[in-house]
Amino acid sequence: TLTSPAPFADETSCQCQAPHEKLTIAQARLGTPVDRPVRVYADGIFDLFHAGHARALMQAKTLFPNSYLLVGVCSDDLTHKFKGFTVMNETERYEALRHCRYVDEVIRDAPWTLTPEFLEKHKIDFVAHDDIPYSSAGSDDVYKHIKEAGMFVPTQRTEGISTSDIITRIVRDYDVYARRNLQRGYTAKELNVSFISEKKYRFQNQVDKMKEKVKNVEEKSKEFVYKVEEKSHDLIQKWEEKSREFIGNFLELFGPDGAWKQMFQERSGRMLQAFSPRQSPNSSPTRGRSPSRSPSPPWVINKTSPPSSPKAASASLSSTSEGDEDEK
């Protein structure tokens, strides 16, 4: 388990004590004793340390079953002389390499061209780098003598990413990064921008803030409209359900065969019975003459039912006289 960064070569007390015997690539691939790891060297500038650098170091570390990876990093003076200005200074680049998991040791102020004395000092068996000829320092390929000595092992470059690509992106989008850093509190002097550019960037930042606010308002408005539409849909659905329920209840009560019609018919029948009761039969005791009651005298005329005509009156008198004769 890795718990600390890789040591610097000039600060470590652990020196390779094993005899530095000449190894071939075939021997190294077969494996070496535990106390004799294959010492592989990889060098570079490693500015803006990225995944392409890490993958190259991973390949160098895994070239052989038992290997010890030394990484040389060139200083600022040497890099600025032969390649150009860097974004990160040498201390930052050293520290970035120390914290890569594949690195066993970091060599500071590494030489631009590898000499036999340097290879012997660090007991380097093989040098790992991509196979593309690297022209620099007046040479068509600085690794030509390493290849001729049979000590060069190629690695593969990672397509789509490099330090130059990253710098190109920064230059292309310089205005965006300058505006962002002004907004974060950096001064125009720190960003090396003019007074007019600073005002322009700050104005653009204000415009972007206003656009963002408008965008947020639009999104909230859309969200509000969506919620209103959703609630309206729910209310309409509930209203339709209640309407169907109300219409069903209404038809059940007032429809052609509804409960209200049946109730009305029942009440109408009861009222008809109440207004026109059935006549009692002739044998009913109420129509017989009560024995305790004395007959009315012939001169008493029924006031409740006066005769409607003279004939009826004469018939009534004749019947009364006949009744009197029968009683006599």
Residue ranges per structural domain of the chain: 25-155, 163-265
Mean pLDDT lowest among 20-24, 74-78, 83-87, 186-190? 20-24
The pLDDT of 298-307, averaged and rounded, is 48
| CA nearest to 12, candidates 120, 105, 91, 90 | 105
Residue 154 CB coordination number (10 Å) = 14
Residue 303 has pLDDT above 70, yes or no: no
The verdict on domain 25-155 having CATH code 2.60.40.10 is: no
Handedness of CA 134, 136, 140, 146 (dihedral sign): negative
* pTM as predicted: 0.62
Mean pLDDT for all residues in the chain? 81
Side-chain-facing half-sphere of 259: CA atoms under 13 Å: 5
| CA nearest to 49, candidates 90, 110, 108 | 90
Q: Tell the burial category of 183 from Cβ atoms under 10 Å away from its Cβ (0-12, 13-18, 19+).
A: middle
Return the higher-pLDDT residue of 111 and 139.
111
Sequence-separated (6 or more) residues with CB below 8 Å from residue 47: 79, 86, 87, 88, 93, 163
Helices 259-275 & 195-254, crossing angle to 10 degrees? 30
Work out the end-to-end distance of the chain between its first and last CA atoms, rounded to an integer number of angstroms: 151
> Which residue has 């408005």 as its token pair?
221
Residue 327 has pLDDT above 70, yes or no: no
When mean pLDDT is compared over 145-149, 177-181, 271-275, the highest value belongs to: 145-149
In sequence order, what are the beta bridge partners of 107?
72
| CA nearest to 151, candidates 128, 179, 118, 133 | 128
Residue 49 CB coordination number (10 Å) = 20
* CB distance 320 to 298 below 8 Å: yes
Mean pLDDT lowest among 35-39, 70-74, 212-216, 276-280? 276-280
> Which residue has 């060139």 as its token pair?
74
